[in-house]
Amino acid sequence: MATKIKLQRTGKMREPHYRIVVADARTKRDGRVIEAIGQYHPKDDPSTIIVDGERAAHWLSVGAQPTDPVLVLLKVTGDWQKFKGLPAPEPMKVAAPKVDRREVFQAAAREAAGLEEKPATTPKKKSKPAAEGDETPAAGQ
């Protein structure tokens, strides 16, 4: 059976998400798949590319042909170079960590109040579970 590694579109209108899948070459774009080996989210900044390199190498070794868009993704992740024995590409751009809004608020509140170390809000207190022997008897008994 001729197999291809191709993109299967999911998501909604103007918000595409793709699965990188192995399927028979004759199936439709969103038809039956043999195995899903990754994900691609082009609208994220930077684009999110997740590929199971071990499974991709397996399918490439047994003769699965990647489509042109998948070939570009495999080259970006370095899985194609690893399969072909070529030097690795430069590292991918990684998204900056998101700033916690609560920490920003607390820092601004401390700065406004002139405090250095105390947090602006107090965390919720956790209630301790009552031990079995500490139960009080009911009033009528």
pLDDT in tens, 2-20: 899 999 999 999 999 999 9
Overall average pLDDT of the 77-104 stretch: 83
Confirm whether 115 is domain-assigned. no
pLDDT at 115: 62
Confirm whether 120 is domain-assigned. no
Contacts of 45-52 spanning 24+ positions with Cβ under 8 A: 45/95, 46/92, 46/93, 46/94, 46/95, 49/73, 49/76, 49/77, 49/92, 51/20, 51/77, 51/79
**Closest by alpha carbon to 3, among 39, 41, 32?**
32
pLDDT over 60 at 118, yes or no: no
Provide the 10 A C-beta neighbour count for residue 6: 22
Confirm whether 99 is domain-assigned. no
pLDDT over 60 at 73, yes or no: yes
pLDDT band at 22 (very low <50, low <70, confident <90, very high): very high
Range name among 11-25, 96-110, 125-139 with the lowest pLDDT average: 125-139
Confirm whether 62 is domain-assigned. yes
CATH number at 80 reads: 3.30.1320.10
The count of structural domains within the chain is: 1
pLDDT at 5: 95
pLDDT at 68: 95
Confirm whether 141 is domain-assigned. no
Residue identified by tokens 């919720």 is: 124
What is the residue range of 65's domain? 3-84
pLDDT at 95: 73
Q: Where are the alpha helices (DSSP H) in the chain?
A: 53-61, 68-77, 79-84, 101-113
Confirm whether 80 is domain-assigned. yes
Confirm whether 91 is domain-assigned. no
Q: Give the residue, 97 or 62, on which the prediction is more confident.
A: 62
Confirm whether 111 is domain-assigned. no
pLDDT at 43: 92
